[in-house]
Amino acid sequence: MEPLQIPVPGERTSQTIRRFRDEGGPVVPIELPGKVHAWMVASYESVSEVLLNDGTLFSKNSRNCPAMHDGTIPPDWPLRQLVEGDHLLTKDGDDHRRLRGLINRAFTPARVAAMAPRIQEMTDGLLDGLAAEGEVVDLVRHFSEPLPIAVICELFGVPEEERYQLREWTNVLLFHTASPEQAAEAAQAMLGYLAAFIERRRAEPGDDLTTGLIQAQEDDGDRLSDNEMLWILWLVLVAGHETTVHLIANAVIALCAHPAQVPAADDQDSWAKVVEEALRSRNSVLNVMFRYPLEDVQVAGTKIPAGEPIVVALDGADTDPARYGADAARFDASREPDAHVGFGRGPHFCLGAPLARLEMRIALSALFGRYPGLRLAVGADEIAYTPSLITEGPMTLPVVLGPR
Ligand code: HEM
């Protein structure tokens, strides 16, 4: 089978993934921008098989991918930092467990739970401002974008006036419309900013998670190195807002299309189900990159040679009719909760899942509680989505708030 090129001009990445799965099967050869040859696993079973491996068969470490280092994948390939940076997403086994263990010392469930009142306060503040924007409001600009940025930056102690720059860098890093030069420039600028920021926190410790990570220490005295600190912040600030920005907006679009599924504002159990269904059927993270087989492997009957990059299509898995039936793509919050892969699965399961779930629940219930008549101001097919292989959400979302 000839490799299928992705992205496809004029088609949303989620549609492309679903089409590749339906037409090509659970494992398809693909070509990414920059002529990078890869494989996409796109069914629930093939995705689960790859994700559940503990790193002994499918590695996250690019050293196990010859193409990364022999010039086949250009050194200035835009997504290189994501797949080659020195962070959690590029480590296997003990190296990965060590890093995650140290982060967990500081990023505890109690710290996440303690954020709830502040998230509510920040949400309410943004909702207060919405009505002043006029009859039609861009919900991305005024709500789904500022909220996750404010939450993650407050958690890590990034001052307000420095936050928007992080958003701009992240977009350049994740959009395939950015040139390799722009991506490299944004990546360097962000790392430079973060190195200086960590120094500032060292000199002036605060009550934030950056200080918590600087001070985190295992019983045997093991600590995070400067370089590890830098990359953790890089990953968490990128992964910790972009994903949530888009998932809030995707969930709003789904609820506007299915108003009967909007729960009562205080029915938090039902809101939790809305969040899970959004993660399953309207996820903001479509693909995760990469896994590299350590030997030639058979996945769902297809041979993938050792070292060739595998793109794991979460969206393909979570809308797979073989698992969810013929109406798999339909948003239906009354489905029985299921083990979707919206936050991944296995050793790299999303570190921020409890925070993202909390934030989503507060944001959506407060938004529809305040503006129960909220509806789209444009047709659903007029919405333009982010030009990204990895994340998907509307670029802008014009809504009418309706009576309060
Ligand atoms: C990992 C999705 C929010 C931090 C992941 C992975 C997925 C994911 C699918 C697995 C990647 C892989 O297997 O290669 C999401 C979604 C989110 C979200 C859909 C929101 C709706 C967050 C937040 C944070 C965060 C808020 C930060 C606080 C991370 C980190 C990892 C990760 C650090 C790497 C974990 C590891 O490799 O051990 N996320 N995420 N994410 N996420 Fe999230």
Q: How far is Cα 68 from Cα 306, in angstroms, rounded to an integer?
A: 13
Among 393, 366, 404, 396, which Cα is nearest to 119's? 366
Q: Are 155 and 209 in contact (CB under 8 A)?
A: yes
Q: With a 6 A CB cut-off, is 85 part of the ligand 1 pocket?
A: no
CA of 383 to the centre of ligand 1 (A): 26
For ligand 1, atom 28: residue with the closest CA: 352
Q: Is the preceding omega at residue 205 within 30 degrees of 0, hence cis?
A: no
Mutate to test the pocket of ligand 1, among 154, 350, 358, 389 (most ligand atoms within 8 A of CB): 350
Residue spans of the chain under pLDDT 50: none
Tell me the two tokens of residue 227.
Answer: 């370089």
Q: Are 399 and 139 in contact (CB under 8 A)?
A: yes
Instruction: Identify the pLDDT of residue 219.
Output: 86
Using one digit for the tens of pLDDT, what is the confidence trace for 56-71? 999 999 999 999 999 8
For ligand 1, atom 15: residue with the closest CA: 343
Q: With a 6 A CB cut-off, is 245 part of the ligand 1 pocket?
A: no
Instruction: Identify the pLDDT of residue 75.
Output: 81
Minimum-distance ligand 1 atom for the alpha carbon of 51: 13
The domain total for the chain is 1
Structure ipTM: 0.99
For ligand 1, atom 30: residue with the closest CA: 351
Could you tell me the residue range of the domain that residue 280 belongs to?
Answer: 4-400
Q: With a 6 A CB cut-off, is 356 part of the ligand 1 pocket?
A: yes
pTM: 0.96
Minimum-distance ligand 1 atom for the alpha carbon of 285: 19
Instruction: Identify the pLDDT of residue 404.
Output: 60
Q: What is the CATH number of the domain that holds 310?
A: 1.10.630.10
Q: With a 6 A CB cut-off, is 89 part of the ligand 1 pocket?
A: yes
Q: With a 6 A CB cut-off, is 40 part of the ligand 1 pocket?
A: no
For ligand 1, atom 32: residue with the closest CA: 350
CA of 353 to the centre of ligand 1 (A): 7
